[in-house]
Structures are given as structure tokens and as C-alpha cells.
Amino acid sequence: MEAIIGAFGLVLDLEVMLVIAASAIYGVMVGGIPGLTATMSVALLVPLTYFMDPVPAIAAIVTTTATAIFAGDIPGALLRMPGTPASAAYVDESFALTRQGKADLALGTGLVTAAIGGMIGTIILMAVAPQLARFAIRFSSDEYFWLGCLGLTCAVLISGSSVLKSFASLFIGLFIATIGIDVAVGHPRFTFGSIELLDGVSFIPAMIGMFALSEILRTVARGARVRGPEQGSVGNVFAGIGRILLRFRLNVVRSSVLGTGIGSLPGAGADIAAWISFTLSKRFSKKPEAFGKGAVEGIVDGGSANNAAVAGAWTPALVFGIPGDTVTAIAIGILYLKGVNPGPLVFTQSPDLVYAVFVAFLCANLVLIPVGFAAIRLSGLVLRVPQAVLMPIILVFCIVGSFAINSTVFAVWIMLVLGVVAFFMEANDIPVAPAILGIVLGTMVEDNFMVTMLKDNGNLLGFFDRPIAAALGALTMTIWVYLIFRGVRDARRAGTTG
Amino acid sequence: MTRTLLTGLLTGTAAIAAMTAPALADCHWVPERAVTYVVPWGAGGGTDANSRMMASLLEQHFGVPFNVVNRTGGNGVVGHSAIATAEPDGYTVGAATVEIAMMHWAGLTELDASNITPIALIDIVPASVTVADDSEFGSLQEVIDYARENPGELTASGTAQGGIWHLAIAGLLNEQGLDPEAIRWIPSQGAAPGMQELMAGGVDMVTVALSEAKALIESGELRGLAYMHDERMSALPDVPTTLEAIDTTWTLAAFITLSGPEGMPEEIACAYEQAVAEAVQTDAWAEFKDSRGAEVVSMPRADLTAFIEAADANLGATMEAIGLTQ
Amino acid sequence: MRVDDTILGAILLAFAVAVVAYAQTFPTLGGMAFGPDLFPTVIGCGLGVCGIGLMVTGVVRRRSRNGGPWIDVAPWMRSRDLAGNLLAVLAATLGYILLSDWLGFHLTAMAILALLFLKLHVRLLILIPFAIAVPLIIHYAFYSLLRVPLPWGLLTPIAW
């Protein structure tokens, strides 16, 4: 308790508050630009933090990630270009709302639930970080394999169209994920001699191509309007939020807790947390038919989960010095530099600094509301620009955003090819979301499968050897059997009713 | 076979004072716009951290931005070829790592050290043998004995198949007269996932850099059995060197350099060499190194080229011996 | 452009067969049944099953409603203007890929913006200032603030 009060004292200092405010603005700006991830925004901060005191340095990182993850919602909702991968899960819902003239509702909900999710995640972290970490650290390749499979199953569960087409989309995504050097023997697959492809298809340009470029293509193919806005404007961002929160209060709590849990697994993170929460949202919704047409409920769940996961990712980082994601990997390096050695001892050696991380999280999520509000109002201007002017500008952003992730023009190729593929997929009612998920999780599933096989000398029963793995495996299998049953039923029904 | 890569070549902290850059007249090249600093490995890793720190110091020195770009993939091939194929005009430099001396042996690429211009040594990262705290093994000798009697039963992890830490254990086994496969290699996406696997009970040991395992060793989660280096690490004085542990001269270290593309003009390379020589003497660099449990290293440019060549030959021989060449 | 499920299924199946066939050329891990070919093969088989499934449902549906068009012609396929829009976007992206290293970011971005604005009938009064200002703003944000090394190309001598 003393440490917590001490931590508040450390953070509630004029200099630290200024750093938090500046980082929030910076985070919103970077997160709002498609192609720039939360990781990149933190990596760019590194040189600055070298010359800061520990507390402001930590506060800067924490605030930047928390705000960047939210800001990814803004271009997602307005232009169907998720700013960060963590926003990709529910981009179709928020974009559908924008097209109905309810951009303010989509973004307001995203903002408030992100802040609440972030705070719930932080509170959980304050209460049980060491215990949570103890659990997370037991996950080996067996458990991650099943977790990846469970995530893949989400792809089929969330999509509205036929199971067959969802699976087809998922397999296309998984195929894309197999491109590049394989984990078991290091053999280049489907690279056709290209050095650039050795690393596989990077996710950011793939996402920009499949969501944003395909949207541009669709718009110009319809005939972009020269004059006049199409989709209204952003009005009162907070109107009706109270009612939504009240109505979906259980969703907020469920997704925040889930998000924190998934975030605390090293290597899982905000992206996967958002997908899984979104899937549960649809499965347990009283109105699943609203999904795909602008379901606020989906935004509530996905939005609170990804920000909660940002907090959760600090669990293994603080408790064991094992990074939960790339952001915390960078953060650990900075902590070392500041003389803080993450590990079980950090809670006894420098508890005030650990709690300063938590307090910084709370402040960041509070600051997020006004800063995010301003960002939403400003970005609302985008909706006033005629499509004929907007589309070419977005195209340049897509190109630069793809280029930015690795500074290679090859990424623009990836964006172009996958954009065209997605354009034809959507024209044929093949949903894009499962393919995106396949790209995200394909490598994780395959790597962990191969590693487990290598460990167990090729014995498939090894996947059920460990208790957590066995439970996850049984759960996954059950869902699969149900899905196959549903697929067969659908096919029969299509055959009889046509 | 010579197994010591570093002997006689590595200059430690003590030598720094004597190592100021050559005061040549033609070292006055100064960049006029932003420089791209290519890192072949991901954000958050050791190469990334060292390079970002060095980039910020070079930025102060030259007064232009040094933009760090992570060009990951293909076990380092992508980033190294980005360094090698850039214009040697001084506006692209990069962190060439030990893999430049390995990947051509593995048949991944034609690229080798002759395609880059080594400028300065940034870090030396010796391997370790590290087990979980609840492991039954108390010493490296016990591990070796067990592996000799039960070949193929133990597993080790820490990097990709054929990566530097894979070489560390396979080379050690080979040197001890065991089958390099006596401890099976389980690939991982890097040191952190490897250590996670170790703590989760998925593998028996990791052979990552001791500096990478330092935090978990200090916190009692892991135990360092051996340090594959000539001297003990000052931050972890309890971990014996391989020589002390099993009386072998086997050592193995990864290294990080600052390098330019092939054919970089002498004037530019020399200007960079001077800038790095100044940077490594700053307090900021010393603090940074200290925080990572590493020593400040440096090496004259001419020696660095020879050092990489020697490493290339030794690593090639090791890879040949353990069947990782193609 | 909507094609009949039967055709869609056939395309997926053909692609799946190609993936599986190519995957068989991958090396296997010494003595193990699981190698780099496993996942591509499984994925290819899955894709193939989806393809066959789509073909079956497509055929059944065609039979129940007595044929119908194989391909639904989308509006852009009938209008030269709309098809031109699509081609212009693709050409602009391709143009950036091929030319940006040589021309540099500013010139390429200005050129593709001007081209697309023209194609989309944007008035010159808007076209010119936007085509010039947008690349400059993006360059400032990405190059100067966010440290993304956008190429200078021909403008290298005046780089700032």
C-alpha cells in the first residue's frame, strides 16, 4: 500500500504529467496513421528515453502504447484502414456504423471502452501480477499451439457468410503465412528466389492492402463522387455512450479481464485479445445478426480487450523480464538502463517503480479521453472531403504506410497484390477477416506445432501431455466438431432450398 | 581445430584509452542529411538495443538524424543484404552481426563478409549453458555425461535451426567427442521465447547469451551452468567459464558490428570509425553497457576485418563438423 | 465481378492442387514424418475441400434454378470510365513501386496524385495545391518526424 501511495507521488509530478500529455498526443498521432504500429512509435521514443529519469521514461512508453492502440480505431472507423493490427478485428463493425452516419457513436464507444478496458487491466495487474505471471509462464509450445488453433477457429465463428467461404478465406490466409523460411529446417517456401519473401509476407502491408486498398478499389469502381461528403460528419462523440456502457457493462468487464489474461501470455498480445473477445461478443450476443452491419457491441468488446491487453503484456515483462510483446521488449531494455531489473525481485527491490508503471497506465487511460476526443473531432474533417479527393490521398498513405514498416518498396507489392486479391474475394462474398487472422496466427500455429513435434520426437499425443494443453486441446476439438456439423447442415440446406 | 574465436583479438575495456581513432587527415567526411541504420533483427532484441543507442550517439556526433530500420527475416539474410547492396555513400550503414560469417556456409545466401565494409565492433555476446532452477543438473559436466549416456534425450533451445546458439551447443558436443545431435535442438523465435519454453518445462536448457539470461538467473528462475568465454562475466561472477567447468578451450560468442556496404570509401569509413571511437568513451555508452551486463568493447578497423575473417573460418569449420553446411 | 460458386470452387481447387504439388518438393526433416511440407499440404487439402464443396453447392444451386449467368457483370466492367478508375489506381501503385527509387518520393507521389485526381475529375483549382501539398506534408510527417527513410531520388542534391 505504501508503495502505491509512493508511486502516485512519483507520477503526479509536473514533469511526468507533461511527459504523459505529450506522449498521449504523440501516441494518438502515430497510432492514427495506418502502417505505423505501437511498436514503431515506442521504438522511435527510445533515444529520447535514454535521457529521461526512470519514471517519466516509463510513463512515456506506457502512455504512447495505450493511446496508439486506441488511435488505430480512428482510420479504421472512418476509412476502413485499421491504424494498428489490434483494431482489425472490429473494423468492419465501426466502418459500417460510419457509413450509416454514426461515426461518432463508433469512435466514442471505442474511446470510452478503451479507457475503461485499460484501467480494468491495470487494476487487475496491480492486484495479481505475480500470480498471473506464474500462470502465463507455464505456457510452452503445446499450449501456444492450441491457443493459436483456438484463435483460428474465431475466424470461422465471426464471419457472417457461409462456413465454406470462411474456411476458404482462412486457408488463403494460412497459405500466405507459410510463405518464407520454415521453422523446422529453414527451407524457403513459395519464395521463388526472392530474398524479400524469406521473411514471409509482413502483416502490416497485408492488412493495409486487404482492408484499405480493396476499399479504394471498390469506391472508384463505383465511381468516386467529386463533390460533397458521403457519410455525414462526426457529431457529439459522447452522446449515448452512458446508455451503451450500461447496457454492455458485462461485455466490458468480460473483455477487459479476458484481454488482460491473453495480453499476459508472452507472444499473444493485443491483436489476438481483440479477435478472441470480438468472437465471444458475437457468439454470446443477443443479436448476433447485427454483426457485420455495425454492431456497437463488437466495438465495446474488441475495444476494451485490446487496451486491457496492453496492460496485461507488462505482466511477464515486469515479473520475469520476459517480454509479452515487442513493445515490452523495448521497455525492458529501457528499464535495465534505468537500473531497474525486471524479475520477481523487482516487486521487493523497487516496488515504487513497479507501481509507477501501473499509475502511469491509469493516468494514460484518463488522458486518453480528452486527447482521443480531440483526435476524433479533428479526424472527423476527413469525412467532409469529397471521395474523389480523398481516395488518391489515402492511396499515398497506404503506399507510405506499407513502406514504413520495413522501409522496403517490396511491402508495396504485397499491399498491391493482396489488395487486388481482397477486392475479388469480397466481390464474391468471401470474407476478408478470416484471411487476415490466418496471416496473423498461421506462423504461430505452425511454429509451435513443429517445435512440439521436435520436442516429443513426432509423437502426436504430446499435444495432450500437459494439463493446460489438454484442456485447451479438448476445447478446440469440441468447437471443431460443432463447426463441421454446422457446415454439413448448411451445405444440405443450401442443396434443398437453393 | 582452433575453437577460440576471440583470443588475441578482443580488446577489453582497459585497452580503450590506448585506442583512440587514427588521426588521419582525410577523416573529415560528414553526412549532410539523414542516415539509414539497418538492423537485421527485430525491435526489442540485443542488436536493436545496441544499434539504437549507437545511432543516438552518432546522431549527436554528426548532427543529422540516424534512422534505425529493422529489416528482419530469413535468419538475417534480408537485413544483411540490405546493408551490403546499399550505395556505399555513407548514408546507409548497418549492424552486421555474426551471421554474416555463418549464413553463406549454410547455403542461405552468397553474401559474406567480403560484401560489407566492417567499421567498428559494437558488442561481443558470449553464449552460455543455462538450465531451469529446478533442473536436476548442477554442472555442465553432468549435462555432458548424461548426454553421452542418453544421446538424443535432452533438448536445448534459444534460436532458429542452425543459428548461433545452436552452433554453441552442437559445437561443444562435437568438441567433447559426442554426436552433435546428442542434445537435440528445438528451434525458437529468439532468446526470450526459448527461455519461456525452458521455464515452462518444454526444453532442458538454453544456450543463449549469458547477458540475455542474466535477469532470470539473478532472480533465481534459471541457473547458469557455464559461460562460453575466456573470463567470467563480471555481472555474474558465479557462472564458471567453459574452461573451468569442463576443462575445454571451447568458447563461442556472437558479435555485433557497425558496417557499411562493400566498397565504402576510406574517408567515410574512417570518419565513422572515429565517431564510434568517441561514442564508446561516453558515459551514456558505459551506462548502457553496464545496464545490460556487458563490457565496453572496441577494436581497430583493420583488426576487425581480420577478426571477422577468423570467425568466418572457425564457424565454417564448426558448421561443417556438425553437419550444418550445405 | 461475381463468378458462380462452381467456377470459384474450380479456381480454388486448381490453386490447392498446385500448392500441394509444389509442397511435395520440400525437403523433409531427417527421419521425421513432419517437415516443411506438412502445413502447406494440409492447407492445400483444406483449400481443395472448400473448392470441391463450393463446386458441389454451385452445381446443386444451378440445377435448382435452371442455370443462370456464370459471371455477374459488375458495373465497372460495363463502363469504360469506371474500369479506367480501377486501372488508374493499380497503375499509380505500380508506378510508385517502379519509379520511387529513381524519381524520389516527392515527384512520384505528386505525379500519381495528379494522375488520379485528373482521372476522378477533380477540378484543377483543387488538384494542383493538393497534389503539391500532400506529398510535402506526408514527407514531413513520415521522414522528418517519424524517421521513415523515404527515397529522395532525383532530388537528392537538394535533400533536406
Which residue of chain A has the CA closest to C134? A393
Which residue of chain C has the CA closest to A411? C97
Give the model's confidence band at A356: pLDDT under 50 very low, under 70 low, under 90 confident, else very high: confident
Question: Which chain B residues are within 8 Å of A323, Cβ to Cβ?
Answer: 44, 192
pLDDT tens across B127-185, in order? 999 999 999 999 999 999 999 999 999 999 999 888 999 999 999 999 999 999 999 99
Same domain for C91 and C153: yes
Residues 83-102 in C contacting A (C-alpha not used; CB under 8 Å): 83, 85-86, 88-90, 92-94, 96-97, 100-101
Output the pLDDT for position A491.
67
Give me the DSSP letters along C7-64: HHHHHHHHHHHHHHHHHTTSPPPTT-S--TTHHHHHHHHHHHHHHHHHHHHHHHHHHH
Query: Residue B296 and residue A351: Cα distance in Å, rounded?
Result: 30
Output the pLDDT for position A226.
60
The mean predicted confidence, pLDDT, of chain C is 89
Give the total number of structural domains in chain C.
2
Integer CA distances (angstroms), A339 to A2, A333, B224, B277, C158, in order: 21, 10, 22, 25, 44
Query: Residue B43 and residue A43: Cα distance in Å, rounded?
Result: 7
pLDDT tens across A238-276, in order? 778 888 888 999 999 999 999 998 888 876 678 888 888
Give the model's confidence band at B18: pLDDT under 50 very low, under 70 low, under 90 confident, else very high: very low
Residue A201, classed as helix, strand or coil, is: coil
B233 Ramachandran zone, left/alpha/beta (phi>0; psi -120 to 50): beta
C50 in contact with A at a CB cutoff of 8 Å? yes
* The listed CATH number (3.40.190.10, 3.40.190.150, 3.40.50.2000, 1.20.1080.10) that belongs to domain B13-124+254-321: 3.40.190.150
Q: For residues A190-202, give the mean pLDDT.
A: 85
Same domain for C82 and C68: no
Q: Which of B202, B203, B198, B201 is nearest to B217 (CA)?
A: B198
Give the model's confidence band at A150: pLDDT under 50 very low, under 70 low, under 90 confident, else very high: confident
Query: Residue A69 and residue A310: Cα distance in Å, rounded?
Result: 8
> Above 60 in pLDDT, residue B198?
yes
Domain termination residue (choose one: C72, C97, C121): C72
Give the model's confidence band at B75: pLDDT under 50 very low, under 70 low, under 90 confident, else very high: confident
Question: Which chain A residues are within 8 Å of B75, Cβ to Cβ?
Answer: 181, 186, 198
Q: What percent of chain B has pLDDT over 90?
A: 67
Output the pLDDT for position C9.
94
Distance from CA of A6 to the nearest CA of C (A): 35
Integer CA distances (angstroms), B324 to B218, C91, C141, in order: 34, 45, 46
Interchain pair B33, C147: CB under 8 A:
no
Same domain for C94 and C36: no
For the whole model, what pTM was predicted? 0.86
What sign does the CA torsion over A329, A334, A335, A337 have?
A: positive
Query: Residue A409 and residue B222: Cα distance in Å, rounded?
Result: 43
Give the model's confidence band at C97: pLDDT under 50 very low, under 70 low, under 90 confident, else very high: very high
Output the pLDDT for position A227.
53
Question: Which chain B residues are within 8 Å of A455, Cβ to Cβ?
Answer: 155, 186, 202-203
Output the pLDDT for position A315.
83
Interchain pair C120, A226: CB under 8 A:
yes
> Above 60 in pLDDT, residue A105?
yes
The mean predicted confidence, pLDDT, of chain A is 85
Residue B323 identity: G
Interchain pair C149, B67: CB under 8 A:
yes
Interchain pair A395, C32: CB under 8 A:
no
Output the pLDDT for position C39.
93
Output the pLDDT for position A230.
52
Question: Which chain A residues are within 8 Å of C101, Cβ to Cβ?
Answer: 409
Query: Residue A360 and residue A113: Cα distance in Å, rounded?
Result: 18
CA angle, residues A317, A327, A322, in degrees to nearest 5? 25
* The listed CATH number (2.60.120.260, 3.20.20.70, 3.40.190.10, 3.30.200.20) that belongs to domain B128-246: 3.40.190.10
Distance from CA of A286 to the nearest CA of B (A): 39
What cell was used for A9? 507521488
Give the model's confidence band at C114: pLDDT under 50 very low, under 70 low, under 90 confident, else very high: very high
* Of B270 and A460, the one with more pLDDT: B270
pLDDT tens across A429-460, in order? 898 888 988 888 888 899 899 889 888 888 88
Q: For residues B32-39, give the mean pLDDT.
A: 92
Q: What percent of chain B has pLDDT over 70?
A: 92
Same domain for C65 and C24: yes
Give the model's confidence band at B241: pLDDT under 50 very low, under 70 low, under 90 confident, else very high: very high
**Other C-beta atoms lying within 10 Å of the C-beta of residue A453:** 24
Choose from B54, B57, B161, B288 for mutation: most chain A CBs within 10 A: B161
Interchain pair A329, B192: CB under 8 A:
yes
* Of A458 and B307, the one with more pLDDT: B307
Q: For residues A129-141, give the mean pLDDT.
A: 81
The mean predicted confidence, pLDDT, of chain B is 88
Residue A40 identity: M
Same domain for C26 and C10: yes
> Above 80 in pLDDT, residue A383?
no
Question: Which chain B residues are within 8 Å of C147, Cβ to Cβ?
Answer: 34, 65, 67-68
* Of A54 and B231, the one with more pLDDT: B231
Hey, where are the domains in chain A?
A: 2-497
Output the pLDDT for position C64.
85
Q: For residues A185-199, give the mean pLDDT.
A: 84
Output the pLDDT for position C136.
95
Output the pLDDT for position B309.
94
Output the pLDDT for position A24.
93
Hey, where are the domains in chain B?
A: 13-124+254-321, 128-246
Interchain pair B34, C143: CB under 8 A:
yes
Distance from CA of B283 to the nearest CA of A (A): 12
Interchain pair A47, B52: CB under 8 A:
yes
Which residue segment(s) compose the domain that C97 sits in?
A: 76-158
Return the HEC string of chain B. Answer: CCCCCCCCCCECHHHCHHHCCCCCCCCCCCCCCCEEEEECCCCCCHHHHHHHHHHHHHHHHHCCCEEEEECCCHHHHHHHHHHHCCCCCCCEEECCEHHHHCCCCCCCCCCCHHHEEEEEEEEEEEEEEEEECCCCCCCHHHHHHHHHHCCCCEEEECCCCCCHHHHHHHHHHHHCCCCCCCEEEECCCCHHHHHHHHHCCCCCEECCEHHHHHHHHHCCCEEEEEECCCCCCCCCCCCCEHHHHHCCCCCCEEEEEEEEECCCCHHHHHHHHHHHHHHCCCHHHHHHHHHCCCCCCECCHHHHHHHHHHHHHHHHHHHHHCCCCC
Output the pLDDT for position A498.
42
What cell was used for A313? 503484456
Give the model's confidence band at A494: pLDDT under 50 very low, under 70 low, under 90 confident, else very high: low
Question: Which chain B residues are within 8 Å of C152, Cβ to Cβ?
Answer: 33
Give the model's confidence band at B91: pLDDT under 50 very low, under 70 low, under 90 confident, else very high: very high
**Other C-beta atoms lying within 10 Å of the C-beta of residue C158:** 8
B12 Ramachandran zone, left/alpha/beta (phi>0; psi -120 to 50): beta
Query: Taking a C-beta distance cutoff of 8 angstroms, is the pair B108, B75 a contact?
Result: yes
Q: For residues C143-154, give the mean pLDDT.
A: 87
Output the pLDDT for position C3.
87
Q: Which of A170, A145, A174 is nearest to A156 (CA)?
A: A170
Q: Which of A267, A323, A328, A264 is nearest to A124 (CA)?
A: A264
Choose from C1, C43, C71, C81 for mutation: most chain A CBs within 10 A: C43
Give the model's confidence band at B11: pLDDT under 50 very low, under 70 low, under 90 confident, else very high: very low
Q: Which of C147, C152, C160 faces B67 most closely, judged by CB atoms?
A: C147
Q: What percent of chain C has pLDDT over 70?
A: 97
Domain termination residue (choose one: C72, C92, C115): C72
